[in-house]
Amino acid sequence: MLIATHIRTRYSDAELEEFRGIIVEKLEAAHLQLRFYMRQLTELADNEDAKIKNLDDAVGSTEREYLSTLAVRQRSLIQHLENALIRIQNKAYGICRATGKLIARERLLAVPHATLSVDAKRTGAS
């Protein structure tokens, strides 16, 4: 007796819409966080007390570097999320770029911009 097995090659349109909603929410939060970091950096740069009293010391520099690093990471996250929306539009979302198989739903719920399955990530696929 031959049993037909259906191997899914992509997520359904309804599932893609669900993921789109999750990604849009994360994208909005990421933009808010980036704006927060940028405001903090602007406030540090515009702080008259620091300019007048020459308080541009190591602490201030460290804080600016830390905020800059956070802003760069946030911009990277935003780019990854925007790329995920493009993959949804192209119906290529959720497909592991190393194996061509579907990435587990649980992984995509945790890391919606993932492009590698857990196994591919574990083996160091790029």
- Which residues have a Cβ under 8 Å from the Cβ of 85 and sit 6 or more positions away? 20, 23, 24, 27
pTM above 0.85, yes or no: no
Nearest by Cα to 112 from 78, 65, 61, 75: 78
For 78-93, write each residue's pLDDT tens digit. 999 999 999 999 999 9
CA distance 103 to 11: 10
Once rounded to an integer, what is the mean pLDDT over residues 12-31? 98
CA distance 71 to 11: 32
